[in-house]
Amino acid sequence: MHISFLIHNGYAIGGTVRTTYNLARSLAEQHDVEVVSVFRTRERPVFDPGPDVRLRSLVDTREGSGPALGPEHSRAAEVFPPEDGKYPMYSALTDRLIGEHLATTGADVVVGTRPGLNVHVARQTRRGPVRLGQEHLTLKTHSRRLKLVLRSAYPRLDALTTVTEADAADYRRKLRLPGVRVESLPNSVPRPEVTPADGTSKWVVAAGRLAPAKRYDLLIRAFAKVTEQRPDWKLRIYGGGREHDRLRALIDELGMYNHVFLMGPAHPLEPEWAKGSIGAVTSSLESFGMTIVEAMRCGLPVVATDCPHGPGEIIRPGVDGALVPMGDEDAVAGALLGLINDDGLRRRMGRAALEDSERFDPARVGSRYESLMRDLLARGSRGLHRTRGSFLGSAYTVKDALWGNGLRAQEGRA
């Protein structure tokens, strides 16, 4: 098969970039795989797509990289929907270049990797290729207006994949996409090229954007309670973001400056996970839980809040980690102390985490994607099949999505 991924910026740091490259690299062992990045912002990608994956871009925004983008880039996009958070970066130029790529691609399968690009794939891919949309966030996090856009455009996909079964169930139940196969396929994480943790260090490790949804404030407060009993243990938090100063102030306020360390971004992160003995994730929302799997693949049991959607589909409580109620710092502290105070349990659960995380290996996830793609090819793409709420032609506006074909009446139910 010739498989073509369409991604926002394959040269940046991000979970979607990383998991797309993991999947592309795995599929490229048997298939012809390319990644088409709408934007190029640096000379080399941060993550390696692999030697057998072709990477190319449509719009090069590097300073001095070539001729100016011109007036077309100053005009608003009409196909890429305004409700997608990346809309300010898109324009009439990107609409045209993406449309030209999709109208001429020789791929057997075209894969979009975010809602706005899935709209392009659904509406502009030439007749013939299978149209596959990936959802790396969740339906619940999308605005009502974006849900209406997706309800209009997604029926022209052949399949949609989500990273959790909970999210797949939401799409099947709430968007009601006739004829679209909705499957749950997790993100993949390769086996790290580091020696797994042995559970002897006295470090708890967390990683991710310093953003409100990650609730690092909860983790820091919980860890302050941990150190009341076990002052010999310490916490490292890796990542950057707008919460840095607030978290720094909280650490100082609690007098935890000798126990909690904001380490900043780290790449690669695997050696840092392997220096720890316990992973911690205290988010209020996770579309999947990539850091949980990364920690487990390095041999760490993980204490996580049981937030929507991912942790409960990854962790086996009492076997390879612990799930605690959201927002409960006492429960977080208690679960951490349970592992800290029992060396044998911590090491057994670390070994179980290492074993259980094999199900997220790119070869296994890639095999499931390959099976899905083959099934879709055997069935044949629905091409320009028109369904209620979809619109023919290349131009696509939010006005279409909100008012076309009676969708206005559905707004209150989105």
pLDDT for 168 equals 96
Q: What is the mean pLDDT of residues 87-94?
A: 97
Query: What is the separation of C-alpha 378 from the centre of its chain, rounded to a whole number of angstroms?
Result: 28
Q: What is the mean pLDDT of residues 42-48?
A: 93
Number of domains in the chain: 2
pLDDT for 329 equals 97
Check pLDDT > 50 for residue 405: no
Query: Within this chain, do residues 47 and 145 fall inside the same structural domain, yes or no?
Result: yes
* Tens of pLDDT, residues 59-78: 999 987 666 688 999 999 99
Query: Within this chain, do residues 315 and 390 fall inside the same structural domain, yes or no?
Result: no
Query: Within this chain, do residues 147 and 15 fall inside the same structural domain, yes or no?
Result: yes
In-domain check, residue 14:
yes
Q: Which of 221-230, 360-369, 398-407 has the lowest mean pLDDT?
A: 398-407
pLDDT for 139 equals 95
pLDDT for 401 equals 38
In-domain check, residue 195:
no
Q: What is the mean pLDDT of residues 344-367?
A: 97
Q: In what order do the strands lie in the sheet with 53-60?
A: 53-60, 32-40, 2-7, 109-112, 130-135, 159-162, 181-184
Query: Within this chain, do residues 232 and 167 fall inside the same structural domain, yes or no?
Result: no
Find the angle CA(85)-CA(290)-CA(23) to the nearest 5 degrees.
85
Q: Is the dihedral of CA 274, 280, 283, 286 positive or negative?
A: positive
Contact at 8 Å (CB) between 33 and 23? no
What's the pLDDT band for 383 if we cut at 50, 70, 90? low
In-domain check, residue 21:
yes
Residue (of 258, 212, 267) closest to 236 by Cα position: 258
Q: Give the start-end residues of each E strand in 265-320.
A: 278-281, 302-305
The CATH number of the domain holding residue 352 is 3.40.50.2000
In-domain check, residue 194:
no
Q: What is the mean pLDDT of residues 344-362?
A: 97
Tokens 């612990």 sit on residue: 322
Query: Within this chain, do residues 146 and 207 fall inside the same structural domain, yes or no?
Result: no
* Tens of pLDDT, residues 170-183: 999 999 899 999 99
In-domain check, residue 68:
yes
Query: Within this chain, do residues 70 and 12 fall inside the same structural domain, yes or no?
Result: yes
In-domain check, residue 237:
yes
Residue (of 405, 402, 404, 403) closest to 147 by Cα position: 402
| pLDDT over 70 percentage in the chain | 91
- Residue 219: CB atoms within 10 A of its CB come to 26
What's the pLDDT band for 227 if we cut at 50, 70, 90? very high
Query: Within this chain, do residues 249 and 381 fall inside the same structural domain, yes or no?
Result: no
Domain that holds residue 109: 2-188+364-413
* Tens of pLDDT, residues 274-322: 999 999 999 998 888 999 999 999 999 999 999 988 899 999 999 999 9
Query: Within this chain, do residues 46 and 155 fall inside the same structural domain, yes or no?
Result: yes
Contact at 8 Å (CB) between 117 and 136? no
DSSP state of 106: -
Structure tokens at 231: 């002052």
Query: Within this chain, do residues 350 and 400 fall inside the same structural domain, yes or no?
Result: no
In-domain check, residue 278:
yes
Query: Within this chain, do residues 284 and 379 fall inside the same structural domain, yes or no?
Result: no
Query: Within this chain, do residues 269 and 326 fall inside the same structural domain, yes or no?
Result: yes
